A and B are shown apart, each in its own frame.
Chain A
Amino acid sequence: MTPDRLYEKNVTITGIGQSEVGRPSTKSAMRLTLDAALEAIADAGLKREDIDGVSCWPGDNNNGSSFSPVGPNALISAMGLQVNWFGAGYEGPGPLAGVINGAMAIAAGLCRHVLVFRTITEASGRLIDKGAAALTNKTPGRDSSYFWQWYTPFNVLSAVNLMAMYAQRHFHEYGTTPEQLAQIALTCRRNAMLNPKAVMRAPMAMADYMASKMISTPLRMFDCDVHCDASTAIVLSRADAAGDGPNAPIRIEAIGSALHQPWSWDQISLTEMAAFDVGRMMWQRTDLKPKDVGSAQLYDGFSILTMIWLEALGLCPRGESGRFVEGGTRIARDGVLPLNTNGGQLSGGRTHGLGYVHEACTQLWGRGGERQIAPHRVAVAASGGGPLGGSLLLVKE
């Protein structure tokens, strides 16, 4: 379908903020959230009173679990915000759904400045309950969850098993190797070493990667992201209200949020996931091309997902991500496609979704410090795996 209205082009990012990234942090989840939110509002050159919308993914769910301890309800009340629209919820196009929903609220005329945030406290969550990552603890009694009920009886108690099966299929169909997959983790670590906030900053060599514990073949421990306590926030502003701030507005050039398949981890295409639907939609909504992208901030909750996003967004040919990342030079900070320049979630910390947008803006605005890459105008951020997927093409005005 050819889009007849490109609503997102009237929406810009004007400010970003992020709390400390702790492993763990001693601050409360709300305090982390406030640190991020206030920094983002100030960065946009705005005051609390200017914020008239709040958006979040997934919001306060599972009784305030460490996966998402703070939602819009709590933040609006804590800050005394007066909003015209707010929203959150798990069901949507992946961890960037908060940005996409907030952009829609602005384009629809409900708001002028939307605060988008994502708070996660899985590092301190794990300290309290070592088994917090296992799904059995989250759903007492018999499993009636729409999708997990088909997996937990077979002892799929972590998402890693599902991602590992995508990886195994990728290896089988395209000849992808462990050494190629390792480049995602190694690249992230090299970048994290230049990011003072990154959780994992010790050097990592190929031998370290290969020696890391096998979790679920072919995924090793270093293919899995690292828990942290952090909050990330961005301010979305209507384009005609964005000019007064200190930052050059970053326009949302195109959004990808499509799902043309079942919402399922096993019925969805094992090589495309939702990501290919997302990529096709995003490029339909812009005249820009993959070759215009100056930085790629792609979901690395598990390394294989980054590989599939590279293909899904047309940044390399289908099935070629292994050969594209081989040796790591193309995806290095001085390569043709700098990838996850803050260390991603694999080494930077699992800020979960919004961290990619934060880093894309950091680089576009030239604030990357030691890890700053060459000046560029276009960045892409994408987040999610399996049936979860969303992407943003960002252009600095």
Chain B
Amino acid sequence: MPRKLPALTPDTAPFWQGGERGLLYIHRCAACQRWFHPPSPICPHCNSFEVGPQPVSGHGTVATYTVNHQPWTTELKAPYVVAIIELAEQPELRLLSNVVDCEPADVRIGMPVRVRFEQHEDVWLPLFAPEGQP
């Protein structure tokens, strides 16, 4: 499927390019130890600048999802699943992605998922597949 790619900045590049090494990077604060997303130069919890990208396990669950049926552009292949994933590292640590490599109708809230990467140019999109999929 075609993808609109994000602009890369010093703050966001580790998130979008960690997949080159098979790793999902999420920002974490050294002062309060909390994770946060999207990445930013300051911790939104304690306002410390001691923040930076750290690899996470890549495990998470589906917090919510939708099966998109509308082909918004002629190149898009519907249906596809858009989901908000809650990462295993911290409650409410969420990111938006797609659930792939399964039937859209099989996706459920609470479903365990694991990250996999899809490369487009210099971006490795973190997508999620049901846990246990090859």
Contact = CB atoms under 8 A, between A and B. Distances in A.
B44 interface: yes
Contacts of A144: 6-7, 9
A136 B73 contact: yes
Interface string A264-275: 111100100000
Contact of A134 (B3, B63, B72, B123): B72
Contacts of A166: 64
B94 interface: yes
A164 B6 contact: no
A172 interface: yes
A161 B82 contact: yes
Contacts of B37: 267
Interface in B94-134: 94-98, 109, 123, 125, 127
Interface stretch (A120-128, A214-222, A241-249, A361-369): A214-222
A267 B94 contact: yes
Nearest to B120: A153
Interface in B14-39: 37-38
A85 interface: no
Nearest to B5: A142
B67 interface: yes
A264 B96 CA distance: 11
B96 to A, nearest CB: 5
Contact of A169 (B9, B73, B109, B127): B109
Contacts of B57: none
Contact of B84 (A158, A165, A167): A165
Given A131-B72, A153-B125, A216 B64 contact: no
A157 interface: yes
A270 B96 CA distance: 12
Contacts of B65: 165, 168
Contacts of B76: 155, 157
Nearest to B96: A266
A355 to B, nearest CB: 25
Nearest to A269: B92
B72 A136 contact: yes
A133 interface: yes
Contacts of A153: 3-6, 123, 125
Given A136-B4, A172-B64, A216-B70, A154 B84 contact: no
Contact of A158 (B7, B70, B83, B123): B70
Contacts, number: 115
Contacts of A215: 68-70
Contacts of B84: 165, 266, 270
Nearest to B94: A266
B129 to A, nearest CB: 14
A180 B109 CA distance: 20
Contact of B69 (A143, A157, A168, A214): A214
Contacts of B125: 153-154
Contacts of B123: 153
B66 interface: yes
Contact of B64 (A142, A168, A262): A168
A177 to B, nearest CB: 16
Contacts of B66: 161, 164-165, 167-168, 216-219
Contacts of B63: 169, 270
A143 B72 CA distance: 17
B82 A154 contact: yes
Nearest to A270: B64
Contact of B68 (A133, A161, A265, A267): A161
Interface of A: 131, 133-134, 136, 139, 141-144, 149-158, 160-161, 164-169, 172, 213-219, 262, 264-267, 270
Given A131-B73, A264-B38, A266-B96, 14 more contacts: A143-B4, A144-B6, A153-B6, A154-B82, A154-B98, A154-B127, A155-B72, A157-B76, A165-B64, A215-B69, A219-B66, A266-B84, A267-B37, A270-B64
22 contacts: A131-B73, A142-B4, A143-B5, A151-B96, A153-B123, A154-B3, A154-B97, A164-B66, A165-B82, A165-B84, A167-B66, A169-B63, A169-B64, A169-B109, A213-B69, A215-B69, A216-B67, A218-B66, A264-B38, A266-B96, A267-B38, A270-B63
